Structure 1
């Protein structure tokens, strides 16, 4: 499985090809409700935690809550043995937030983490970016 995540999107792909020549096929993802708004308050830099514009602060909390919801769902899938191998592709900020929420079972399934923004790309574009 390939999980592509950013602050607003979550895409999931399954390899329908062979390991040496992957062909990514999109998999339906659940409609996740971001509920863990405390996730966004983990910033260590107090200045970045309280931007001048309250809309920026709300947006950052929404993004962190979305990423936490995705990671919670992935944790559940791993703990229920619905996936045994996972490649996580996420923008660096989202990937950092995800790591805070990984369960040990999910960590054991992760083959690779890629700090790139590839959401919205086609399967062949994703494979090409991973090979580059």
Structure 2
């Protein structure tokens, strides 16, 4: 995948969230400025009553809400989301229409506990 300069990359799972920005160009990905913003986990909707599942759904919904707010504030122009399939599915339920317009792609893969170089390689291979 070619990742345009300045694209934000959100890497999430049901418990962790890290945001990067591509400081490289479309062909040479260089993720910088890792940040772990605070996430609201209050939106825990779901049919499964298990607390762990509800906590993970709440975290995924919170990540989507944070991304929505940053898109609407014009802090994010282009966005790539990398998340495990369950988290990605929950996040999609909460995407704002404007976020969907700015989405350059999604990768359904768990990458929250790997180093930045492996994330860059996964993006390049996608």
Return the TM-score normalized by structure 2. Answer: 0.88
Q: Match of 2:3?
A: none
Q: Give the C-alpha shift of residue 124 in structure 1.
A: 1.4
Aligned partner (choices 68, 71, 92) of residue 78 of structure 1: 71
Aligned partner (choices 22, 33, 39) of residue 32 of structure 1: 39
Aligned partner (choices 6, 14, 38) of residue 7 of structure 1: 14
Q: What SS is found at the alignment partner of 1:21?
A: coil
**Which consecutive residues of structure 1, in runs of 5 or more, have no partner in the other structure?**
42-48, 51-56
Partners of 2:102 and 2:116 in 1: how far apart?
A: 21
State the 4+ residue runs in structure 1 displaced beyond 3 angstroms.
none
Return the TM-score normalized by structure 1. Answer: 0.84
* Maintained 8 Å contact 1:11/1:26: no
**Which consecutive residues of structure 2, in runs of 5 or more, have no partner in the other structure?**
1-7
Which has more radius of gyration?
A: 1
Structure holding more helix per residue:
1
Deviations 1:37-85 (A, max 9, x none): 22x33xxxxxxx25xxxxxx00000000000011000000001100110
Partners of 2:28 and 2:124 in 1: how far apart?
A: 11
Q: Which moved more, 1:17-26 or 1:82-91?
A: 17-26
Q: Match of 1:18?
A: 25
